[in-house]
A and B are shown apart, each in its own frame.
Chain A
Amino acid sequence: MTKEEWPLYEVFIRSKSGLSHRHAGSVHAADDEMALDNARDTYTRRNEGVSIWVVRSERIIASDPAESAAFFEPAKDKIYRHPTFYEIPDEVENL
């Protein structure tokens, strides 16, 4: 008998309120509820999180590594897109 693997889910954890969710890893689970439980039991045992997202790995649309030149390189030499050419007035405190 061959064992059928449960589908894979990607796990995202928000470590505290105000921060965004970050990818923590993945778990196998038979259904969505179980994925949430498994993520909780696997990745938040040491008080790592206040919120968990899980999503079926196959539902993630990822960029193609073969196209990374077209995707990312054009941004490399556009230093003017970084807001470093502005004099910040002294009166602006929270920037």
Chain B
Amino acid sequence: MSDRATLAAYATRLGDNALILGQRMIELVASGPELEEELANANFALDYIGQARMFYTYAGECEGQGRDEDDLAFLRPEHEYRNLLLVEQPNGHFGDAIVRQFLFDAFYVHQLEALTRCADEGISTIAARAIKEVRYHLRHSRLWLLRLGDGTEESHARVQESLDRLWRFTGEMFVPDELDDEMRAGFNGPHLEIIEAEWRKDVGDAVAQATLRLPGDQWMASGGKQGRHTEHFGYLLAEMQHLQRAHPGASW
């Protein structure tokens, strides 16, 4: 791949993670357990979508074929999305959404941190902006994990179950593919082995503090980075893309 193509593909992947998680959180709008939590969730969802916009716009520039953020967000088929399987998992109950958020943000915050030192200024600038938002999101989901884990018998059991069920989607975050290698070699991109160690420590500490049990080593699902998604993804995409597909270029 040329350097520009590498950057375009990598920025698209970053945008995909942010957009798909943001879309999942938007599905939760109007069902928050409390007014304040409702506001927080909607704010965070918009933070991710804002990040996706920046990454897509930059990806379009690097690609140089005239595609803009909307083209990348709404007009690609399923297999062209390269987001992690974790972020596309359905919302489930509040504990499921919190665990998904926590496991992803604990990774994303280190990924962005590494990207602020990346040799490409376009990506490092966006990362520097995004990391401030994500640090706060991580604080939020981490505190909720502690409350639910160390809360009532029921909240403990349910959030443990969420953790056990979502754990299998965490493996692919740390398995580098060709694009990760190219970013690392060409642009001082993230070192996934180091991030995995940081993530394990952060997640291990929070899980212990929440009086939860860390799931053991197990079979890990993968394929998101290659565009092979779980069965939930098509439905998400259908809803998200419907408007642009039915009314191309619609605006208001």
Determine the interface band of chain B, counting residues with CB < 8 A from chain A: 10 to 19
B15-45 interface (Cβ within 8 A of A): 34-37, 39-40, 43
Contact (A27, B36) CB under 8 Å given A37-B140, A41-B43: yes
The answer to the question of B129 belonging to the interface, with a C-beta cut-off of 8 Å to chain A, is no
In the bound complex, what is the Cα–Cα distance between A38 and B40 (angstroms)?
7
What per-residue 1/0 map shows which CB atoms of A34-67 lie under 8 Å from chain B?
1001101110010000000000000000000000
Identify whether the interface residues of B are mostly helix, strand, loop, or mixed. helix
Contact (A42, B139) CB under 8 Å given A6-B34, A30-B147, A31-B147: no
Query: Is the pair A42, B147 in contact by a Cβ cutoff of 8 Å?
Result: no
Nearest CB in chain A: distance from B132 CB, A: 13
Query: Is the pair B43, A28 in contact by a Cβ cutoff of 8 Å?
Result: no
Contact (A28, B40) CB under 8 Å given A33-B143, A34-B143, A37-B140: no
Query: Is the pair A29, B147 in contact by a Cβ cutoff of 8 Å?
Result: no
Question: Residue on B with the closest CB to A35?
Answer: B36
B131-169 interface (Cβ within 8 A of A): 136, 139-140, 143, 147
In the bound complex, what is the Cα–Cα distance between A27 and B36 (angstroms)?
7
In the bound complex, what is the Cα–Cα distance between A94 and B43 (angstroms)?
44
User: What residues of chain B lie closer than 8 Å to A31, measured between beta carbons?
Assistant: 147
Determine the interface band of chain A, counting residues with CB < 8 A from chain B: 10 to 19
In the bound complex, what is the Cα–Cα distance between A31 and B34 (angstroms)?
14
Query: Is the pair A28, B36 in contact by a Cβ cutoff of 8 Å?
Result: yes
User: What residues of chain A lie closer than 8 Å to B139, measured between beta carbons?
Assistant: 37
User: What residues of chain B lie closer than 8 Å to A38, measured between beta carbons?
Assistant: 36-37, 39-40
In the bound complex, what is the Cα–Cα distance between A41 and B39 (angstroms)?
7
User: What residues of chain A lie closer than 8 Å to B40, measured between beta carbons?
Assistant: 37-38, 41
In the bound complex, what is the Cα–Cα distance between A45 and B43 (angstroms)?
8
Query: Is the pair B39, A42 in contact by a Cβ cutoff of 8 Å?
Result: yes
In the bound complex, what is the Cα–Cα distance between A34 and B34 (angstroms)?
12
User: What residues of chain A lie closer than 8 Å to B34, measured between beta carbons?
Assistant: 6, 28
Contact (A37, B39) CB under 8 Å given A6-B34, A28-B34: no
| Besides A37-B140, A38-B39, A41-B40, 7 other A-B contacts (C-beta < 8 A) | A27-B36, A28-B36, A29-B36, A31-B147, A37-B143, A38-B36, A41-B36
Give me the 7 closest cross-chain CB pairs, A-B, nearest first: A38-B36, A41-B40, A41-B39, A27-B36, A33-B143, A42-B39, A42-B36
Between-chain CB contacts (< 8 Å), 9 pairs: A27-B36, A28-B34, A28-B35, A28-B36, A34-B147, A37-B40, A37-B140, A38-B37, A38-B39
